[in-house]
Amino acid sequence: MNLTSWLLLTVNSVTFGGLLFLVSAGFSLIFGLMRIPNLTHGSLFMLGAYFGATFVGGMLGMMFNFWLATLLAALLVAALGALIERFLLRQLPGNQLAQVLVTLGISFIAADFCLMVWGGDPISVAPPAELTGFIRAGPLVFPTYRLAVIAIAVVVAIALWLLLERTRLGAMIRAGVDDPDMARVVGIRVSKLFTIVFALGAGLAAFAGVIGGPILTVYPGIDQYMLPLALVVVILGGSGSLLGSIVGSLLIGFIYNFGQALLPELAYFVLFLPMLLVLLLRPQGLFGRFVP
Amino acid sequence: MSARLIALAVAAAALASLPYWLIGDYYVNVASQILFYAIFALGLNILAGYAGLVSLGHAALFGITAYALAYTMQAGFGHPAAIVVALVVGMIAMAVFAMLSLRATGIGFIMITLALGEIVWGLAYRWISVTNGDNGINVHTRPTPFGLSLDSPVAFYYATLIVFAICVVAVALFVRSPLGAALMGTRDQPRRMNALGFHVWAIRFWACMFSGLLTAVSGVLFIYYTQFISPQTLELTSSAEVLLMVISGGAGTLLGPIVGSALVVIVKSVVSGYIERWNMLLGFIFVAIVILMPEGIVPGSVRLWRLAWRKMSAPPRPAAAEGKP
C-alpha cells in the first residue's frame, strides 16, 4: 500500500470511530448508570437508521431535509427508549435474567418490524446535498461527508462533555454512576435519571443511525453488526466514562479498519482480542471507575 | 411425590410413543430438535440458573464441538473417534472459557463470554482457509450404534431421546448432589460460602465443565442432525436464543429449559410455516413472559396455579369479617 491509501484508511478509521462514539456514548452512560445489559442498543441504532432513510428518501411522500430527518428520528427513538425504560426495565430492578430476556425480546421485535416495513434489501441513503462531493488536499481526495461525520462527532462529544461536567443534570448523572445508593441518599431521584439517560442514549444511537446511513447503507442485521462493536468500545473505554468512549471508539475505529485491510481473515479476532485483554487485565476499562 | 412420579411416567410414555402419533417425518424431526436443544439449554441452565453466571458465548462451545467432529471425520476417522474428539475439544474449550471468564461475575461474566463467543465466531466466519467460511463443512454420514442405522428421522429421534434422558437424569443428580447444593450457595451467598471454607472458584469451574459437557453432547447431536456446520451456528443470536430458552422456561429449574426449548423450536420451525412474522411473535412472547411471570414459564405457572388453587380451596370468609371494624 502507498501513502495515499494509508492516509485514506486513517481518515476512514477516524470517521468510523466518530460513528462508534455516537453509538457508544449513550450506551456507556446507560451501562454505567443503570448497570443493565442493554441488548436493545443495536436495534435502537437500526430503527434510527431506517427512520432516517425513510424521511430522507421521501418514502412518506415528502423529502425531509437531512438534518431535520436526523433530529426527528432521534426524537422518535428517544421517546421509544423512554417508554421501554419506564414501562419494562423499571419493573425489573436487579433481575438480570429478566433484563436480558426483555431487551432481547425487544430486539427481536424491532428486527422483524424493520424487515416487515422496509423489506430485506439494503437501502442507500444520500448524504445532504451540501456535503456530497470531495475535498482535495494536494494529491489527496477525501469524501466530504466522511470528514463531516468526524466534525459532528466532535461537536456531540463537546456537547455531552458540557452536559455532564457543567450542568446540574450532568452532576447528578455522574453521582449516579459513581455511587447510586449514596446519590439516592442525598436526594437525587436516580430512577428519574434512568429514564432521561436511557432516552438520551436511545436518541444518540438513532442519531448515529441516520448519520451512519450514507456510509454503511441500511440493511437488516445492522443491529447485530453494531451491538458487539458498541459493546467492545464500552468495555475497552470503561462504562460510564465519556473520555473512555471517545478513546475506545477511536481505538476500535482504527483496529477495525486496519484489521479489515491488513488481516482480513483475522479481522474479528483482532477486534475482540483487545476487549478480552482489557476485561482480564483491567476489568474496569481504560477510563472506567468501577468494575461491571 | 407420587403425583410427580405419575407425571414423570406419563411424560416418558408420551416421549417414547411420540413417533407413533406424530404424523409425518417433519414433526418427528422437530421433536428431535427440541430434545437436543433442550440438552443445550439444560447445560446453559447449570450456569445461568444454578450458578447465577449468565453466559452469552455458549453457541461458540456448541459450534467448536461440531467443527471438531466435522474435522475429525474429514481426517478419515470413524464415528466413535470423532465423537470422543469432539467432546474432549468441547470440554477443553469450556475450560479455557471458564478460566478467562470466571474472573468476573454478573455483567462482567456476560461480557467476557460474549467477547469469547464473538472471537470464535469471527474466526469461523473469516478464517476461510481453515473453516471454509460461510460454506461450512458437511458431515456425510450418521453413526450406526450397535449396527442400527440412524438415517431415518424416527431412529434419530430415539437415539436423541436416550441421550436426552441420560442428560436429564445427570442434571437432576447433579442438582441434588453436594456439589449442586454448594453451587447454589455460591450463587446466593458467595462471600459466606467462601467464609465457610468452600472454594467458590473451583465449584464454579466444575459447574462450567458440567455445563460444557452437556453443551458438547448437544453439539454432537446437532451436527449429526443437520450434517452441516457453518459460522451461523456460532453467532451471538444463537447464544442468545439458548439463553432465552433457559430464561423463558425458568432458569434454575429442571423442567424450565426443556419447556423453553420446546417453545422456541416450535415457534421457529412450526409456527413460522403459518405466520410470517414469527420472530416478532417470539419477541412479544418474551416480553409478555417478563411482564406476566418474570421468573419464567414453569415457576410462573406453578405460582399462578397455587394462587388459583388457594383461592378455590380457601373456605369463603364470613362477610362480616371482611367489613371494616
What pLDDT, in 10s, does the model give residues B189-215? 999 999 999 999 999 999 999 999 999
Residue B319 pLDDT > 80, yes or no?
Answer: no
Tell me the mean pLDDT in the region A273-292. Answer: 78
Q: Scan residues 109-128 of A and list those with Cβ closer than 8 Å to B.
A: 109-113, 115-116
Tell me the pLDDT band of B1, cut-offs 50, 70 and 90. low
DSSP B294: T
Give me Rg for the CA atoms of chain A: 19
Q: Residue B67: is its pLDDT beyond 90?
A: yes
- For B123-167, write each residue's pLDDT tens digit: 888 888 888 888 888 888 888 888 788 888 888 999 999 999 999
**B78 interfaces chain A, CB cutoff of 8 Å:** no
Whole-angstrom distance, CA of residue B133 vs CA of residue B126: 6
pLDDT 10s digits, A114-156: 999 998 899 888 888 888 878 877 777 788 888 899 999 999 9
Q: Do the bridges between strand A140-143 and strand A134-137 make them parallel or antiparallel, or are there none, so unpaired?
A: antiparallel
In the block, cell 447503507 appears at A217
Q: Which amino acid is at A88?
A: L
3-state secondary structure A7-18: HHHHHHHHHHHH
Instruction: Tell me what ipTM this predicted complex has.
Output: 0.83
What confidence score (pLDDT) does residue B200 get?
92
CB B294 within 8 A of CB A95: yes
Listed in sequence order, the residues at least 6 apart from A27 whose beta carbon sits closer than 8 Å to its beta carbon are: A38, A41, A201, A205, A230, A231, A233, A234, A245
Chain A residues with CB under 8 Å of B108 CB are 279, 283, 291-292
Q: How far is it, in rounded angstroms, from Cα B30 to Cα B142?
A: 18
Residues 6+ apart with CB under 8 A from A63: A56, A57
Which pLDDT band holds residue B321 (cuts at 50, 70, 90)?
very low
Non-local (6+) Cβ contacts of B237 within 8 A are A224
Contacts of B106 (CB under 8 A, 6+ apart): A96, A292
Chain B closest CA to A129's CA: distance in Å? 37
Each residue's pLDDT tens digit, B277-312: 888 888 898 888 888 888 888 888 888 888 888 888
Give just the sign of the alpha carbon dihedral B187, B305, B261, A220. negative
* A204-240 pLDDT, tens digit each: 999 999 999 888 889 998 988 888 888 889 888 887 7
A19-23, A136-140, B20-24 — which is least confidently predicted?
A: A136-140
Beta bridge partners of A143: A134
Q: What is the distance between the alpha carbons of residues A17 and B296, in angstroms, rounded to a whole number? A: 40
- Residue A270 exposed, middle or buried by CB count within 10 Å (0-12, 13-18, 19+): middle
CA–CA gap between residue A52 and residue A147 (Å, rounded) = 20
Specify the pairing of strand A134-137 against strand B228-229.
unpaired
Within 8 A by CB and 6+ apart from B67, the residues are B124, B131, B137, B229
Instruction: Indicate yes or no: CB of A235 within 8 angstroms of CB of B247.
Output: no
Q: How far is A110 from chain B (nearest CA, A)?
A: 8
Domain boundaries, chain A: 3-125+147-281
CATH superfamily of B22-234: ABC transporter involved in vitamin B12 uptake, BtuC (1.10.3470.10)
* Stretch B76-97: mean pLDDT: 92
Residue entry with cell 461475575:
B105
Q: Which helix (H) or strand (E) covers residue B135, if one does?
A: none
Residue A291 pLDDT: 65
Partner residue facing B287 (CB), from A35, A95, A105: A105
Tens of pLDDT along B34-51? 999 999 999 999 999 999
- Provide the angle, in degrees to the nearest 10, between the axes of the packed helices A242-262 and A3-34: 140
- Among B199, B265, B197, B208, residue whose Cα is nearest residue B53: B208
pLDDT for A62-81, tens place per residue?
Answer: 777 888 889 999 999 999 99
The structural domains of chain B, with segments of one domain joined by +, span 22-234
The label of the residue with cell 421509544 reads A80
Q: Report the SS3 class of residue A239.
A: coil
DSSP string, B230-277: -GGGGSHHHHHHHHHHHHHH-TTSSSHHHHHHHHHHIIIIIGGGT-TT
Strand partners, A137: A140
pTM of the model: 0.86
User: Residue B47 has what DSSP assignment?
Assistant: I
Q: For A291, list phi and psi in degrees, rounded to 5.
A: -85, 125
Residue A235 near residue A251 (C-beta atoms within 8 A): no
Domain A3-125+147-281 fold is ABC transporter involved in vitamin B12 uptake, BtuC (1.10.3470)
| Cα B164 versus chain centre, distance | 11
Residue B315: what pLDDT? 64
Q: Is B105 on the interface with A (CB under 8 A)?
A: no
| Pair B42, B243: CB distance under 8 Å | no
Q: Are B97 and B253 in contact (CB under 8 A)?
A: no
**Please, are residues A84 and A106 in contact by the beta-carbon 8 Å criterion?**
yes
Is B126 at the interface with chain A, CB within 8 A?
yes
- Chain A: give the shortest CA distance to residue B43, in Å: 16
CB atoms near residue A129 (< 10 Å): 9
Q: Which residues of A touch B119 (CB under 8 A)?
A: 268-269, 272-273, 276
Chosen for mutation from B53, B55, B99, B107 (greatest number of chain A CBs closer than 10 Å) is B107
Residue B320 has pLDDT above 60, yes or no: no
